[in-house]
Structure 1
Amino acid sequence: MDKLFLGIDLGTSCVKTVLWNPESNIIQVASCNYPSILPSSLKVEQNPDDWYRALKTSIKLLLNKSDINIQRLEGISITGQMHGLVLVDEEGNFIRNAIIWSDQRSKCQVTDFYNGFGANNYIKITGNPLSSGFTLPSWLWIMENEKDISKNTFKILLPKDYLRFKLTRTYYSDPSDAVSTGLFDVNECVWSQAILDFINLKNELLPEVKGSFFNAGKLKEDVAKDLGLSPAINVYIGGGDTPVQAFGQGIDSKGTLSIGISSGGNIIGLSDKPIIDSKGRVHCMNYLFPNSWYSMGAIMSAGDSMEWFRQNFFPHLQTKDLIKIASKAGLSPKLFFLPHINGERTPYMDPEATGMFLGLSMDNHLGDIVRSIMEGVCFSLRICFDILIDIGIEFNTMIASGGGTKSDFWMQLLTDTLNFPITKSDMENSSAFGAAMIAAIGSGSITKEDIKNSMRNHSKKTFFPNKEMAKYYQKKYERFIEIYPLWNQTSNESH
């Protein structure tokens, strides 16, 4: 009897579920959306109950679509949005909405922490510059502004770890997600005692850290009944969505860069030792396997930039319609878009960075404007790309995935901007698929080598740089990287 594995991806806007049969390599996919809550400017939260409701709906859709015998389901694993803050009481009930990764309220907490602990010291321990939206500054904000909440907190959890707790009633995290809290020692692969002592945070408030393939327990009977599944199913820990997405693309060792264009955007490269950027421009994090790390450049608003523009100005059109219009537009060498509509990470680590159009004229039309948005995202990813090269990340191939890569036009823009061939993964739901693979490996049903052989059968499309367009975008990129410093200086002088 063929075994099946369920991968769950708790994303920023929806839960995606993937049902995978390793023997036939058949994949079924379902999803269910949920909203973000915006209490005020800079604040972004979500209701964890919405996550579970969306998971239940998604699994129901998946099982109806698949028409399977649930007794064949051997294991489950979860990936999800990183950095977030979920606080629960002794009964395991969340005691406030989750603060998610895109929240920008904690700039003052980051500054105060750096002033006391030391930025260089912090980066040496964690491998990461500290940013608003990380668990650490969000917790410091709670301690300062919601003291009753902090006093009643029994556990501090990441989003995917909370969802897994709902399934198993066990508290765990894994290195690839724990490192995104800002509380983890990237070198020693443990919670940093120095940081915990400095902020007076007790170890028992944090979950135990185990490997991504560790069995966290079986589905609780009441949960299994509610989800329409068997209580005999094992649930494996999983990992953060960025590394699991890379794993879902078949990346398990250095040599290949992974590019993601979703709500945000990132480029990551694996290494067999932690490569920490002393300038704090990119992140160094633990990967899914022991003695494996990755460096990551991240931008806050990739797909979100397109969605912001669509919702506010052309809500009657779909994103694909706007991209089609942009694909017919000519070149606009003087038109730029700075995609910092929700602050920015690489390389500025500035939660108050703002976006802008520059160089608009009466000659510009809708297609030119949309194309400039897509170019702005590509230029921001080029900054990440250049820094990874600068710190010594080794690679010879690049694979891209995420919603933005569905557009061949956007893929070609990115390829020309980076001036390097990029292969588009045909795995549209690589994070959820990566989680399903973790469950399969954790169960002992398959090995990493089995997965490598399976991935070779996936058809992929490779984009190659157009020499003339690469020259054009090199010149435009050199002008693009001058915009933020000048705009930031002007903006600061006006206050």
Structure 2
Amino acid sequence: MYYIGVDLGTSAAKLLLMDEKGAILNIVSKEYPLFFPKPGWAEQNPEDWMRAVRAGIPELVSGIDRADIAGIGCGGQMHGLVVLDESDRVIRPAILWNDGRTQVETEYLNREIGRERLAALTGNIAFAGFTAPKLLWMRKQEPENFTRIRRIMLPKDYINYCLTGVHATDYSDASGMLLLDVCNKRWSEEMLRICGVAPEQLPRLYESYEAIGTLRPVMAEALGLPETVRVAAGAGDNAAAAIGCGVVGQGGCNISLGTSGTIFLSSERFRADSGNALHSFVHADGGWHFMGCMLSAASCNKWWMDEILRTREYSGEQAGITEERLGRNHVYYLPYLMGERAPHNDPDARSCFIGMTMDTGRETMTQAVLEGVAFGLRDSLEAAKKLGVCPSSSMLCGGGAKSPIWRRILANILNIRLTIPETEQGPGYGGAILAAVACGAYPSVRAAAAALVHVTGTVEPDPLIAARYEEKYRNYRSLYPALRDIFPRL
């Protein structure tokens, strides 16, 4: 049997076809536009996501006996607000995870409702990217649209709704809405009241590996698939990526160098971060996890290469960053292109370079970008250490993980061993694994991950390089506090 995994990303829908032994038979990617209506805003049209999926699946399964396609699972960008009216029409473009317009609403939740109260209700405090502040913003700024809302969902849930007609979400993705009581896996009645949301507007909750339904006849015909294809509830992209890397159960760690950057720490029990730097979310294996998320990771390098250097020769630009240069760079880069989430929770934060001299060249600044992202991930690792969570190794996935020198930089700045999975498809592969479990091919997510996920190599930190980076990290940590009060004036 075959399983389709969908990675509903910020720039494209990446679809893969997996057989029951975990082999990837085909990969198709379909891009769609991203809109920035105002500085700090980010939106997409949900219809564009579905058009990409509808165009991609027939291409993905070309040449395959479609009667053998058993399931579909989706890992999707988190936090995005998708709202439909009573006729199932999209009311407005989706407000995305990296949108920073909700600073007023976020401050209201954290200060007026209170961080302690929010943490008691949801396990988390408010961040600008979360869904609840977006609902408050919409209620205030677009009241006519707000009153038309009949269904509230997250990006990958819109795909699932179009496929099955079932209004559903999973616990991992719902964890990032600030509407879920994460510890008890149920909607928080008080948070719904605060946001002016009725329970019937929200989707039914499922574990990520549960089937929510099968394909609607009209969708089966459009995709050329059997109506019997089961659709798994799926997961938020980071939880799905962790499944795709085999990070399940107690004590696992996964680092993702995607558009955003995350450190993901799995656990079999719920814990909240009293320091509020890390999110406490449900994991797609049925347990929980801590997660530190920086808003701009590989997207920093993409911005630097595409917009500033105006080149697509990514590996060529990194070729001059040799081993002896590591830990000796005098230029620093703050990776706050879209503000920052963990650990600062500051939508006003902005990117900058500091430390340039007359001999600073493009290689030095390219290295600074790679190091700045790694330093940002180190911030989340330090927050985890304060909770007594001290991983000595981690899986590594995401587009940025394909860079050998970036892997070396990251291993030494974090001073942990990095393990590279054989399959680097992250959320898409995780989505396919969840589909396989939903179809009964494996008894649990843990069993599926053990059977299907394999590693291809490791990157060990070098004690001398890691020691040099310790001093550099101390300098890096002093930069944001020094600039924090300046950012809002920019």
- Residue type of the alignment partner of 2:55: T
CA deviations over 1:20-43 (Å, ceiling 9, x no partner):
111373442211111101111111
- Residue type of the alignment partner of 1:17: L
User: In the aligned structure 2, how far is the partner of 1:432 from the partner of 1:244?
Assistant: 7
TM-fit CA distance, 1:311: 2.2
Task: Judge conservation of contact 1:255–1:397 (CA < 8 Å) in 2.
Answer: no
User: In the alignment, which residue of structure 2 is the partner of 1:322?
Assistant: 317
- Residue type of the alignment partner of 1:299: M
RMSD: 1.7
TM-fit CA distance, 1:320: 2.7
User: In the aligned structure 2, how far is the partner of 1:188 from the partner of 1:481?
Assistant: 36
Q: Secondary structure at the match of 1:482?
A: helix
2:164 to 163, 168, 178: 168
User: In the alignment, which residue of structure 2 is the partner of 1:111?
Assistant: 107
Alignment of 1:25-424 (within 5 A): 25-64=23-62, 67-290=63-286, 292-327=287-322, 330=325, 332-393=328-389, 395-424=391-420
CA separation of 1:15/1:212 partners in 2, compared to 1, >3 Å: closer, same or farther?
same
User: In the alignment, which residue of structure 2 is the partner of 1:454?
Assistant: 451
Percent sequence identity over aligned pairs:
30
Alignment of 1:8 with 2:6, yes or no, is: yes
Task: Judge conservation of contact 1:88–1:94 (CA < 8 Å) in 2.
Answer: yes
User: In the aligned structure 2, how far is the partner of 1:233 from the partner of 1:350?
Assistant: 43
CA deviations over 1:304-357 (Å, ceiling 9, x no partner):
111111222222333233222444883544210001111001110001101110
Task: Judge conservation of contact 1:420–1:465 (CA < 8 Å) in 2.
Answer: yes
User: In the alignment, which residue of structure 2 is the partner of 1:433?
Assistant: 429
User: In the aligned structure 2, how far is the partner of 1:437 from the partner of 1:169?
Assistant: 22
- Residue type of the alignment partner of 2:234: G
TM-fit CA distance, 1:113: 2.2
User: In the aligned structure 2, how far is the partner of 1:311 from the partner of 1:450?
Assistant: 41
Task: Judge conservation of contact 1:275–1:391 (CA < 8 Å) in 2.
Answer: no
Return the TM-score normalized by structure 2.
Answer: 0.96
CA separation of 1:30/1:114 partners in 2, compared to 1, >3 Å: closer, same or farther?
same
- Residue type of the alignment partner of 2:208: S
Return the TM-score normalized by structure 1.
Answer: 0.95
TM-fit CA distance, 1:455: 3.5
User: In the aligned structure 2, how far is the partner of 1:244 from the partner of 1:221?
Assistant: 27
TM-fit CA distance, 1:367: 0.4
Task: Judge conservation of contact 1:8–1:436 (CA < 8 Å) in 2.
Answer: yes
- Residue type of the alignment partner of 1:434: G
TM-fit CA distance, 1:420: 1.2
CA deviations over 1:424-459 (Å, ceiling 9, x no partner):
122211211111111111111223464244236x34
Task: Judge conservation of contact 1:329–1:367 (CA < 8 Å) in 2.
Answer: no
Q: Secondary structure at the match of 1:118?
A: helix
TM-fit CA distance, 1:289: 3.3
The count of corresponding residues between Structure 1 and Structure 2 is 488
User: In the aligned structure 1, how far is the partner of 2:252 from the partner of 2:268?
Assistant: 13
TM-fit CA distance, 1:61: 2.5
User: In the aligned structure 1, how far is the partner of 2:322 from the partner of 2:225?
Assistant: 46
CA separation of 1:27/1:395 partners in 2, compared to 1, >3 Å: closer, same or farther?
farther
Task: Judge conservation of contact 2:110–2:125 (CA < 8 Å) in 1.
Answer: no
User: In the aligned structure 1, how far is the partner of 2:288 from the partner of 2:413?
Assistant: 27
User: In the aligned structure 2, how far is the partner of 1:179 from the partner of 1:349?
Assistant: 17
- Residue type of the alignment partner of 1:38: F
Structure 1 unpaired stretches of 5+: none
TM-fit CA distance, 1:361: 0.8
User: In the aligned structure 2, how far is the partner of 1:215 from the partner of 1:419?
Assistant: 40
Q: Secondary structure at the match of 1:43?
A: coil
Task: Judge conservation of contact 1:262–1:303 (CA < 8 Å) in 2.
Answer: yes
